[in-house]
């Protein structure tokens, strides 16, 4: 079946001069400000006509020798780098945070990438759903009754929104994710698991990005909530009644049991988990595989199961491994 | 695309008197038996015209102060509660198990919720499949050759049934789950991984509820079986040749390696796992993240990896954490 | 909707004589070489007209009594077994590796199984995609712009290939897997998570088999690569920029963080993981749940988190469990 593409990007999305790059990312050119680039690439692979970036300090810094050698041998036309770093490129754009500058520059060029948009004929959208302007629903997206999709959202193939799901503007949801399936609520009757009907919904804030194969269950009575600006990697599971603040980071395969509350800006490493009915504080960080079984205070950095101070977890592991090494 | 809804619920699904609630849940009214309610809601959120429930004991019990304060301030018209608990509601229905009563009451009101049913035009069903009465196949459900779907099953969008899958009556399968994909069977030839063709199928008992993004592989030679009344949360993986008894509970992200046998009523916490070719006994309980590497006896409660007595696991963790705390 | 089936298998796929079996698997018949079989089945279930296999040694070996009893009672017409093993079957085919021989024999009979092939009318394929000969795209497969699908690939229902995905010949991908979604790349700006556009693609070698609900993210600048002959079980997550060599084995629920490099023939047990930007050596083995946080040398066998020598991990666990058992 044919797929159409969105309107072309603005003309200057294709190629920028070093001067224009500096303006875009808030930096300053050293070298030839007329050099042009049309793509960001990795330090090792960037060729003429491409930009790259170097995140370390110069030769006197802690940057390792391999990285410095890659920098010296770079064939990029433009390098984003900190002030003190010598580069071999015709143009260097000096910035405080080269990785951030590279992201912004790549976002600019990305506008020129052809992409599909519109509402695909193989998607199905309930008549009662409200769809904002500029929304892209790819093939086989399912939007059920009473859903609300904010302007500019992009839903990739196979995404399923159960009835009543609400997405703020500018969200992206990758393929085969499911929002609003029933939470896992049952009461044992003595004979069977009686289902607790899940009457709630899922509510996603503005600008949230959700990976592939993520499951976010509807609330029991009200909403399961994900705050604005959160980023959620693939295969994450979010149980019913969870409430995530703004800008929370959930790495791949994280599992949140029901009624987990997460404060703004908390970061959960890969496959971290919670046992539910607890709060992860704002700015808290959970190491990969950590399992929180009770509240984690704001700003704490935890690891292990049950999750506790990450330094203590590391010290503990060092000590018990010493036990194993001692004697036969 | 248009979606239709099932026939409306029976009229009395909308609103019940306290007397009717008591009859439905097997309780007894104290207060005004003529009070009417049309919805169950949480203790904190329930408003006039709504029912709620309180699972604790009264002021002299171990119920915590916050819960008792919520109870005192409840605006619900009807509260399901145990005998000795004073409530502020116009009507209280006395029951032994308020959470169970609330589930049954919510199930009653849930009948009135409009829901889609039938066989969606965007589903695809092989001509050889046998579909029972009252089945709902949502958009993009795939039912392959020789499948059998029992009466009253509900398959949500994107569910895939490979050839030969058999569902008992009254099952629910949430979006994007996959039943009957090939098991992971290969033999190393010295040069490559030779595939062991997976000739079997998947067989699901009556009244099983399966979450979103669950994978249940077909058996190698015969069936992978899930017994009647099991409940399976999101993102669970069940390898080939597993056999689950009745009423088993698998929480989210559980992983069962091939040829795991699970007895009736066992409960596996979130992300618990088995290494395959072993038996989890009837009524056994595995804590979250526990990994069984050999048989677990009936009724045992285990944790850790390899799974062993949960009390021992907890004692061990306490002791090794003490090691880390001691000295610098 | 109707589904068609491929052309029937060669006639001799249905039934083989013991002599033909011996020729196919490189063995030698003892007993009646004219006996015919039409299916491989398990030792316990195989009936007359069926073949089975016994992987252990004879009565004087370490084979356990239960297995030997199954062998003695087998009703199979043909048993694949090692030289010294007495069998009750009319025909025994002697081979060095009975399990491998059984796989090859079952592959032969499997050719006779009716299966759907072609490009399903409910799949959607971008006009710019290149599709090899003999490819089967089941219902609701999504093939986006500039994808390349090698000859003989089979994509099961709901598979999503993002733009630019390349599959070598002879790959199988099970239902609802997603190849090429955006990697999880963001830079914190001080105010928000700025997305790093993911410009790369996914490249899969020849003969790779991928389970259900697997996610393989596109590279940031170039390819995420999976080498020829790899086998990947259900619900595996492979982050952006990973590079897997040939014949790698990833068991269910494995999670690879970005830029993991894996050497040829490495085996990762169920739910093993890596923290990214590291190398798992050729032939290395990671036990289930192991988490590699730095390079693992070729051929090493590791367990635990952080992953280290598996024997040390086991010794450590034995010792800390002894601590828990000691005293009250």
Task: Please report, for chain B, the start and end positions of each structural domain, with discontinuous segments joined by +.
Answer: 11-110, 177-311
CA distances from B53 to B64, B76, B96, B129, C261 (A): 15, 9, 12, 44, 54
Average pLDDT over residues A104-124: 89
Nearest residue to B141 (alpha-carbon basis) of B174, B116, B108: B174
pLDDT of residue B13: 65
Question: Please, which pLDDT band fits residue A8 given cuts at 50, 70 and 90?
Answer: low
Alpha-carbon span A203 to A227, nearest angstrom: 8
Query: Per residue in B201-238, pLDDT tens?
Result: 999 999 999 999 999 999 999 999 999 999 999 999 99
Nearest residue to A286 (alpha-carbon basis) of A258, A321, A255: A255
Q: Is the peptide bond before A275 cis (omega within 30 degrees of 0)?
A: no
Residue of C122, C129, C196, C198 to mutate, testing the A interface (most A Cβ within 10 Å of its Cβ) = C196
Alpha-carbon span A40 to A54, nearest angstrom: 12
Q: Does A138 participate in catalysis according to the annotation? A: no
Question: Which among A3, A102, A175 is the nearest to C126, CB-wise?
Answer: A3
Go through C228-252 and write b for each residue having 16 or more CB atoms within 10 A of its CB, e for each that does not.
Answer: bbbbbbbbbbbbbbbbbbbbbbbbb
pLDDT of residue B3: 46
Query: Quick one: residue A259, left, alpha or beta (phi over 0 = left, psi -120 to 50 = alpha)?
Result: left
Q: Is A242's pLDDT higher than 90?
A: yes
Alpha-carbon span C277 to B158, nearest angstrom: 35
pLDDT of residue C58: 74
Share of chain B above pLDDT 70, in %: 95
Average pLDDT over residues B38-64: 91
Q: Is the pTM of this model over 0.90?
A: yes
Question: Which among A2, A231, A235 is the nearest to C235, CB-wise?
Answer: A235
Q: Is B11's pLDDT higher than 80?
A: no
pLDDT of residue B9: 56
Q: Is there a contact between B55 and B71 (Cβ–Cβ < 8 Å)?
A: no
- Beta pairing class for B36-37 and B16-17: antiparallel
pLDDT of residue A14: 81
Alpha-carbon span A118 to A120, nearest angstrom: 6
The end-to-end CA distance of chain B, in Å, is 67
Beta-bridged to residue B31, according to DSSP, are B91
**A40 DSSP assignment:** B
Question: Which among A2, A122, A247 is the nearest to C192, CB-wise?
Answer: A247
Sign of CA dihedral B289, C258, B276, B219: positive
C124 CA to chain B: closest CA distance, Å?
Answer: 13
- Residues with Cβ within 8 Å of residue C11, at least 6 apart in sequence: none
Phi, psi of B206 (to 5 degrees): -70, 145
C321 interaction partners in chain B (CB closer than 8 Å): 308, 312, 316
Average pLDDT over residues A283-301: 98
A36 CA to chain B: closest CA distance, Å?
Answer: 46
Average pLDDT over residues A95-118: 91
A259 CA to chain C: closest CA distance, Å?
Answer: 24
Candidate CATH numbers 3.40.1410.10, 3.30.460.10, 2.160.10.10, 3.40.640.10; the one for domain C177-311: 2.160.10.10
Q: Is there a contact between C302 and C319 (Cβ–Cβ < 8 Å)?
A: no
C203 CA to chain B: closest CA distance, Å?
Answer: 20
pLDDT of residue C2: 39
Q: Is A160's pLDDT higher than 90?
A: yes
Query: Per residue in B18-35, pLDDT tens?
Result: 999 999 999 999 999 999
Q: Is A10's pLDDT higher than 80?
A: no
Neighbours of A196 (CB within 10 A): 24
pLDDT of residue B61: 79
What is the total residue count of chain B?
A: 328
CA distances from A90 to A17, A82, B20, B218 (A): 12, 16, 83, 60
A1 interaction partners in chain C (CB closer than 8 Å): 124-125
Go through B290-325 and write b for each residue having 16 or more CB atoms within 10 A of its CB, e for each that does not.
Answer: bbbbeebeeebbbbbbebbebeebebbbeebbebbe
Interchain pair A127, B211: CB under 8 A: no
Neighbouring chains of A at 3+ CB pairs within 8 Å? B, C
Q: Is the peptide bond before C225 cis (omega within 30 degrees of 0)?
A: no
Q: Is A130's pLDDT higher than 50?
A: yes
Interchain pair C321, B305: CB under 8 A: no
The set of catalytic residues of C is 240
Question: Which among C124, C194, C255 is the nearest to A139, CB-wise?
Answer: C124
B158 interaction partners in chain C (CB closer than 8 Å): 140, 158, 176
The set of catalytic residues of B is 240
C173 CA to chain B: closest CA distance, Å?
Answer: 10
Alpha-carbon span C138 to C128, nearest angstrom: 19
Q: In the CATH scheme, what is the code of domain B11-110?
A: 3.40.1390.10
Q: Which residue of chain C has the CA closest to B200?
A: C41
Interchain pair A176, B213: CB under 8 A: yes
Interchain pair A305, B289: CB under 8 A: yes
Question: Please, which pLDDT band fits residue A2 given cuts at 50, 70 and 90?
Answer: very low
Alpha-carbon span A46 to C102, nearest angstrom: 51
A119 interaction partners in chain B (CB closer than 8 Å): none
B306 CA to chain C: closest CA distance, Å?
Answer: 9
Interchain pair A211, C184: CB under 8 A: yes
What is C104-169 written as a DSSP string? HHHHHHHTTS----SB-TT-EE-TT-EE-TT-EE-TT-EE-TT-EE-TT-EE-TT-EE-TT-EE-T
Nearest residue to A108 (alpha-carbon basis) of A186, A20, A188, A173: A20
Q: Is B245's pLDDT higher than 50?
A: yes
Interchain pair C184, A158: CB under 8 A: no
- Name the active-site residue from A108, A126, A240, A277: A240
Neighbouring chains of C at 3+ CB pairs within 8 Å? A, B
Go through C20-29 and write b for each residue having 16 or more CB atoms within 10 A of its CB, e for each that does not.
Answer: bbbebbebeb
Q: Is A239's pLDDT higher than 90?
A: yes
Pairs across A and C, CB distance < 8 A:
157
C193 interaction partners in chain A (CB closer than 8 Å): 209, 229, 231, 247, 249
- Residues with Cβ within 8 Å of residue C2, at least 6 apart in sequence: B127
Query: Per residue in A41-94, pLDDT tens?
Result: 999 999 999 999 999 887 777 778 888 999 999 999 999 999 989 999 999 999
Angle, CA C159 vertex, CA C157 and CA C163 arms, to 5°: 145
Interchain pair A40, C221: CB under 8 A: yes
Interchain pair B181, C212: CB under 8 A: yes
pLDDT of residue B173: 98
pLDDT of residue C315: 96
pLDDT of residue C41: 97
- Residues with Cβ within 8 Å of residue A311, at least 6 apart in sequence: A301
CB-neighbour burial class of residue A285 (10 A; exposed 0-12, middle 13-18, buried 19+): buried
Helix/strand/coil for B60: coil
pLDDT of residue C79: 98
Structure tokens at A182: 């029933």
Alpha-carbon span A228 to A203, nearest angstrom: 10
A310 interaction partners in chain B (CB closer than 8 Å): none
Question: Which among B142, B178, B291 is the nearest to C288, CB-wise?
Answer: B291
Alpha-carbon span B289 to B85, nearest angstrom: 37
Interchain pair A116, C144: CB under 8 A: yes
Q: Which residue of chain B has the CA closest to A290?
A: B289
Alpha-carbon span C225 to C216, nearest angstrom: 9
Low-confidence ranges of chain C (pLDDT < 70): 1-13, 327-328
Structure tokens at C148: 């390349």
């Amino acid at each position: 079946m044919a797929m159409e593409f969105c309107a072309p990007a603005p003309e200057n999305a294709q190629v920028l001069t070093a001067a224009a790059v500096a303006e875009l990312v808030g930096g300053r050119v050293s070298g030839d400000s007329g050099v042009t680039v049309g793509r960001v690439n990795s330090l090792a692979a960037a060729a003429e006509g491409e930009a790259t970036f170097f995140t370390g300090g110069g030769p006197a810094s802690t940057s390792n020798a391999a990285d410095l050698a890659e920098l010296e041998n770079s064939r990029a036309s433009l390098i984003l780098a900190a002030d003190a770093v010598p580069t071999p490129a015709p143009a260097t754009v000096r910035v405080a945070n080269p990785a951030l500058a590279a992201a912004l520059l790549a976002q600019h060029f990305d506008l020129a990438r052809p992409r599909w948009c519109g509402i695909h004929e193989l998607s199905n959208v309930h008549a009662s759903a409200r769809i904002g302007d500029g929304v892209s629903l790819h093939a086989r997206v399912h939007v059920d009754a009473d859903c609300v999709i904010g302007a500019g959202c992009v839903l990739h193939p196979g995404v399923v929104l159960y009835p009543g799901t609400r997405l703020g503007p500018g969200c992206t949801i990758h393929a085969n994710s499911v929002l609003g399936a029933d939470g896992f609520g049952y009461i044992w009757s003595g004979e069977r698991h009686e289902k607790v009907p899940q009457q709630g919904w899922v509510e996603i804030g503005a600008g949230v990005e959700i990976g592939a194969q993520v499951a976010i269950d509807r609330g029991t009575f009200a909403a399961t909530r994900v705050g604005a600006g959160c980023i959620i990697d693939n295969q994450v599971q979010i149980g019913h009644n969870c409430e995530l603040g703004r800008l929370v980071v959930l790495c791949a395969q994280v599992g949140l049991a029901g009624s987990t509350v997460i404060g703004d800006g908390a970061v959960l490493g890969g496959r971290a988990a919670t046992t539910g009915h607890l709060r992860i504080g704002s700015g808290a960080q959970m190491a990969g595989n950590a399992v929180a079984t009770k509240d984690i205070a704001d700003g704490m950095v935890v690891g292990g199961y049950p999750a506790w101070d990450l330094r203590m977890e590391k010290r503990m592991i060092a000590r018990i491994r010493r036990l194993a090494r001692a004697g036969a």
